[in-house]
């Protein structure tokens, strides 16, 4: 599988830990910050690291941002720059996740087009890195003992089959905690039954190790 390419803009505590953990998990990371000192510190821990004013659209284009699978705007202290960079990147047609430190900031970032917004509760860089490198995971929560709780879509091979016939626990070492199914009133979640037949737009919440979940996603 081809390595995912991420750019992380803004290397405070969240951005720095996110960038280095993404690289540790096998992604190619371009780290960007205005500080030459921070770039020098992180340069041996990521694929590439450059210092420049990230509000300069020409510089963003020159450093290959258009080739990224995802750009994470992790600027924390200068919200004006955060908004401007997010808007520039969205105008370039990129997928962008941005960091907010309040509900008001989150509303503004949503208005300029951010695809996903990190709230203060979600700014655990290591945890977020693990989620981002598991392609197909909607949300991700680490539990104790190396177990994680992940929200994923059902695999195509599961559609039309009963839960009891799939033996997911034996094959992948996973437990399905909830199933989410679309109804007239929106998606409803409940504990699955052995005779549930999976539909194409079903979502499931699964529990297992990160390696088990990765095997499921890559199957």
Per-residue pLDDT of the chain (219 residues; tens, 9 = 90+): 466 789 999 998 888 888 888 887 678 899 999 999 999 999 999 999 999 999 999 999 999 999 998 899 999 788 999 999 999 999 999 999 898 888 899 999 999 999 888 876 555 555 666 666 566 666 665 555 667 777 788 888 889 999 989 888 888 888 887 888 888 877 787 888 889 999 988 888 887 887 888 888 777
Q: Under 8 Å CB-to-CB from 169, ≥6 apart: which residues?
A: 175
Report the largest interatomic distance among the alpha carbons of the chain, rounded to a whole angstrom. 59
In words, the CATH class of domain 5-126 is: alpha beta
CATH superfamily of this structure's domain 134-218: Regulator of K+ conductance, C-terminal domain (3.30.70.1450)
Residue boundaries of the structural domains of the chain:
5-126, 134-218
CA distances from 128 to 14, 17, 149, 193 (A): 10, 10, 13, 31
Q: What are phi and psi of 45, to 5 degrees?
A: -110, -5
- pTM, two decimal places: 0.62
């Amino acid at each position: 599988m081809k390595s995912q390419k991420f750019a992380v803009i803004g290397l405070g505590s969240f951005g720095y830990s996110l960038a280095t953990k993404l690289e540790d998990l096998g992604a190619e990371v371009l780290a960007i910050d205005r500080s030459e000192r921070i770039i020098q510190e992180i340069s041996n821990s990521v694929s590439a690291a450059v210092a420049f004013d990230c509000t300069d659209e020409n510089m963003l284009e020159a450093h290959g941002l258009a080739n990224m699978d995802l750009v994470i705007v992790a600027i924390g202290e200068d919200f004006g720059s955060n908004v401007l960079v997010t808007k520039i990147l969205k105008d370039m047609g990129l997928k962008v996740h941005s960091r907010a430190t309040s509900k008001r900031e989150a509303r503004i970032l949503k208005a300029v087009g951010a695809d996903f917004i990190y709230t203060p509760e979600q700014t655990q860089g290591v945890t977020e890195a693990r989620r981002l490198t598991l392609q197909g995971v909607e949300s991700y929560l680490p539990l104790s003992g190396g177990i994680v709780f992940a929200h994923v879509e059902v695999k195509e091979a599961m559609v039309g089959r009963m839960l009891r016939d799939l033996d997911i626990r034996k094959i992948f070492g996973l437990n399905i905690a909830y199933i989410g199914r679309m109804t007239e009133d929106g998606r409803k979640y409940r504990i699955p039954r052995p005779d549930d037949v999976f539909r194409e737009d079903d979502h499931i919440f699964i529990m297992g190790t990160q390696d088990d979940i990765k095997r499921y996603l890559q199957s």
